[in-house]
Amino acid sequence: MKFQTTHYHLDLLKDNDRVSAFFEAINQYDSKTDLAYDLGCGSGLLSYFLNEKFSEIISIEIDEKASGCASENLKSFNNITVFNEDVLKYDFSKKADLIVCEMLDTALIDEEEVQVLNHVRKFLKEDGEIIPNAVINFAELVNMERHYIHWDEGASYEILSEPLNYSKIDFKNKINPNFEDILEFEVNNEGTANGIKITTVTILNDNVVCGPTPMFNPPLMIPIDETNVKSNDLINVKLKYIMGQGIETVKTQLI
């Protein structure tokens, strides 16, 4: 079978660390568990993994081209139904044992994970699970070459502080999309701080954790007002953003 996909989804498929983390997490299910939802199924790879383990899989994808690829790729499996629809408008009627939803971006800022999970969580059985089931966000003070918000794709920067574990978001609980907190950085290097680096680690289940990869939450570099720092300084930065509303919502303030 030749797997059909879009350019974007092909890049996702080529990210081995990402794909193997999802495969491992899904593979831990017993064969013929009842129902799984694959939300934002793209060209259908995760539904293909789910097929071995679930009696019924409902796969929903908003993008017409990707959903067409998924329908074609999965047409020989009687237990998988692909819908080309917005998850937020889909008429859910059954409670699932598993919801797979990978609309993730660093700190959940730039994709719809939070809004989608807050909408569908009521369609999960009491003992059901969500993959991934949490993210942990870390921040570090940096001196960065580019003084505008960008993903870490090779531009240089120097780390000036200890990593700060500033939030854990558990997907089983209702998530407030508005994040606002003052982060206190312990400086361990001398230099000019002009940014913070946010790194998100994704917990797929109790046994599978996936760090940032090129296609799965690459670190986000956020500018702050410049300040000279030296070892043992404590630097406070107010960080604010709205999850699911994009990087335009990110605001920082040196306190």
Ligand X SMILES: C[S@@+](CC[C@H](N)C(=O)[O-])C[C@H]1O[C@@H](n2cnc3c(N)ncnc32)[C@H](O)[C@@H]1O
| Sheet strands (E) in 62-214 | 80-84, 96-101, 124-131, 134-144, 150-151, 157-159, 164-170, 178-186, 191-203, 209-210
Report the Cα 220 to chain-centroid distance in Å: 13
Report if residue 21 touches ligand X, rule: CB under 6 A: no
Question: Which C-beta is closer to ligand X: that of 33 or that of 213?
Answer: 213
Cβ 79 to ligand X shortest distance, Å? 18
Cβ-proximal residues to 60 (8 Å cutoff; 6+ apart), any chain: 37, 38, 39, 40, 41, 82, 83, 85, 87, 90
CA–CA dist 91, 113 (Å, integer): 18
62 vs 80 by CB, closer to ligand X: 62
Q: How far is the CB of 116 from ligand X (least distance, A)?
A: 6
Which amino acid appears at position 84 of this protein?
A: N
Distance, CA of 183 to CA of 171 (rounded, Å):
23
Told to check if 87 binds ligand X by CB under 6 A, we report yes
Closest approach, Cβ 198 to ligand X, in A, equals 18
Query: Between 61 and 129, whose beta carbon lies closer to ligand X?
Result: 61
Q: How many residues does the chain have?
A: 255
User: Contacting ligand X (CB under 6 A), which of 97, 112, 129, 152?
Assistant: 112
61 binds ligand X (CB under 6 A): yes
- Is 109 a residue that touches ligand X (CB under 6 A)? no
Distance CA 134, CA 125 (A): 18
State the nearest-atom distance from the C-beta of 60 to ligand X, in Å. Answer: 5
**Is residue 50 a contact point for ligand X (CB under 6 A)?**
no
**Contacts with ligand X, residue ranges (CB under 6 A):** 9, 12, 40-43, 45-46, 60-63, 66, 86-88, 102-103, 112, 116
